[in-house]
A and B are shown apart, each in its own frame.
Chain A
Amino acid sequence: MIRFTHVSKEYPRLGLALNDVTFRVNKGEFAFLTGPSGAGKSTILKLILIEERATGGEVRVNNAAASEMRRRDIAMLRRKLGVVFQDFRLLEDRTAEENVAFALEVTGAARDTIAPRVSRLLTQVGLAAKGTSYPRELSGGEQQRVAIARALVHDPMLLIADEPTGNLDERATRGIFQLLRDINASGTAVLMATHNLELVRRNEFRVIELNRGQVVFDSASQPVAPDPTPDLEA
């Protein structure tokens, strides 16, 4: 479903962010993307969302080469990918319901299907009672639930979570993580970038570890030593 083959990404001023990265994420899989700040986690997520293009190698998302996609194809692809961020990225002047509905409206969903879908999604993330609350009236965990509900509006094949628990306390973290597991159990693949090693250790999911733009460990394959030129086939 997601396939990186010898991918590199170089920024004009910042230098090499990814160097010869190869891995794949399969349908229905749950994978952690770990590593210190600046290791390249966010760059990988941006390449999957085609917010950025690779400078070398090939990125394939949903069996299509990212480099060949036009802007309209990218918009269509993003409807198959859900994404949540550490800072939630909700619209402050809209209620929880409106934030979720927004994702449906801007992609041209039929008007009469929006309300029931929003209500179903808010129920799924445990926020049925808070639909009319504004983000500032919700806790961090609740805001992230709204963001997750928004990410699920198109029944994505993959949910990308960029440090989704980074701003949350332990209890909220547990709740959000459980929600991501439930989503994964219903068939959606989840790729979660995180710093939270405790969370990674406690759960037996696949771990892809990055350091300085390279994959230094992938639990789905042989462990790879942090060699400057490792064989990275996953």
Chain B
Amino acid sequence: MRLTFREVVLGFRRSPLLSTLSIVTIAFSMFALGLFGLVALNVSRALRGLEEHVEVRAFLAAGTPIETITTALGDIQAFPEVQKAEYVSPEQALARARTELPEFKDVFDANVLPGSFEIKLKPGYRDPVNVESVASRLSNYPFVDDVRYGEEWVKKLYDIRNLAGAAGVVLGVAFAAVAIIIIGTTIRMAVLARAREISIMRLVGATDGFVRRPFLIDGFLKGVAGGALALLMTWGASTLISDRLVSTAFFDRQVALLGILGGGLIGLLGSAMSVGRHLRRV
């Protein structure tokens, strides 16, 4: 292992320019991945924010006895999908309408607005199927006049979320593939620069694993360095966008660490590809 690390250091010292170039290339391809990740993160946050507003409202028939309402509310609160369920009495509805729509303050009469249940669903249950299922259960209550949950809106939101998720996966994989190919190519240059050494190693009986090891470590370290540089650049871009344009969220620590490790993994894969191809040929 000591020898392997010596070979790695020697490789860097022998061609510092090529090594630096590799790291910078990896950094830029990972930077593209990072920017894309940043967009994906912020879109997903925005969508999650919108999802918070998914709410089901059941309007109650006038004159429903308060005991019935209380019992029903208890039942509804026990639904597995429900995070929070509240009863809004006609008086509360009126007061709210008056504060929210002051220009129509005088239009609202007592008893013009019905009482209602306002139900918020747990995260993970805010998709069209669950929302609809809760709504249909609510409309089964004989004293429920009407159930509203903005079905059009929920469906659209859900579609956008799915689309964003699918686009995220496809583009993420594409960017990662590009990064792997770029890293593979730069490592390939390093492999070719040391082709003579490799051929001597093989002639004196070094195993493929032994020949491969320093390159794999080299690829991993370059990937990690490139990943860290890319993270720094992405952070810079995010800060700049936040300052000048619009406030953006940045990756949390685990994701950032995962990104750097991902760089290492991409470096490892790229160099495994290059060395493997070279070894198959000699």
Listed in ascending order, the chain A residues whose CB lies under 8 Å from chain B are: 49, 51, 71-72, 75-79, 83, 89, 91, 93, 102-103, 105-108, 111, 150, 153-154
CB-CB < 8 A to A106: which residues of B? 3, 201, 204-206, 210-211
Query: How many whole Å from B266's CB to the nearest CB in chain A?
Result: 26
Interface of B (DSSP majority class): helix
Instruction: Please state if A89 and B196 are interface contacts (CB–CB under 8 Å).
Output: yes
6 nearest A-B pairs in the assembled complex, by CB-CB distance:
A79-B205, A78-B205, A106-B206, A103-B204, A75-B207, A106-B201
Instruction: Please state if A154 and B205 are interface contacts (CB–CB under 8 Å).
Output: yes
Q: Is B202 an interface residue (CB 8 A)?
A: yes
Instruction: Please state if A91 and B3 are interface contacts (CB–CB under 8 Å).
Output: no
Query: How many whole Å from B210's CB to the nearest CB in chain A?
Result: 6
CB-CB < 8 A to B200: which residues of A? 89, 91, 102-103
Instruction: Please state if B204 and A91 are interface contacts (CB–CB under 8 Å).
Output: no
Instruction: Please state if A107 and B205 are interface contacts (CB–CB under 8 Å).
Output: yes
Query: How many whole Å from A64's CB to the nearest CB in chain B?
Result: 15
- 25 A-B pairs with C-beta separation under 8 A: A51-B282, A71-B207, A71-B208, A72-B207, A75-B206, A75-B207, A76-B205, A77-B205, A78-B203, A78-B204, A78-B205, A79-B205, A89-B200, A91-B197, A93-B14, A102-B200, A102-B204, A106-B201, A106-B204, A106-B205, A106-B210, A107-B205, A107-B206, A111-B2, A150-B204
Listed in ascending order, the chain B residues whose CB lies under 8 Å from chain A are: 2-3, 14, 196-197, 199-208, 210-211, 282
Instruction: Please state if B204 and A79 are interface contacts (CB–CB under 8 Å).
Output: yes
Query: How many whole Å from B205's CB to the nearest CB in chain A?
Result: 4
User: Given the complex of chains A and B, what is the CA–CA distance between A76 and B197 in angstroms?
Assistant: 18
- Contacts beyond the supplied A75-B206, A75-B208, A154-B204: 12 A-B pairs with Cβ under 8 Å: A71-B208, A72-B207, A72-B208, A75-B202, A75-B205, A78-B204, A91-B200, A103-B204, A105-B3, A107-B205, A107-B210, A153-B204
CB-CB < 8 A to B207: which residues of A? 71-72, 75
CB-CB < 8 A to B205: which residues of A? 75-79, 103, 106-107, 154
CB-CB < 8 A to A83: which residues of B? 203
CB-CB < 8 A to B197: which residues of A? 91
User: Given the complex of chains A and B, what is the CA–CA distance between A102 and B211 in angstroms?
Assistant: 12
Instruction: Please state if A108 and B210 are interface contacts (CB–CB under 8 Å).
Output: yes
User: Given the complex of chains A and B, what is the CA–CA distance between A78 and B206 in angstroms?
Assistant: 9
Query: How many whole Å from B181's CB to the nearest CB in chain A?
Result: 26
User: Given the complex of chains A and B, what is the CA–CA distance between A108 and B199 in angstroms?
Assistant: 17
User: Given the complex of chains A and B, what is the CA–CA distance between A89 and B199 in angstroms?
Assistant: 9
Most buried by B among A71, A72, A77, A79: A71
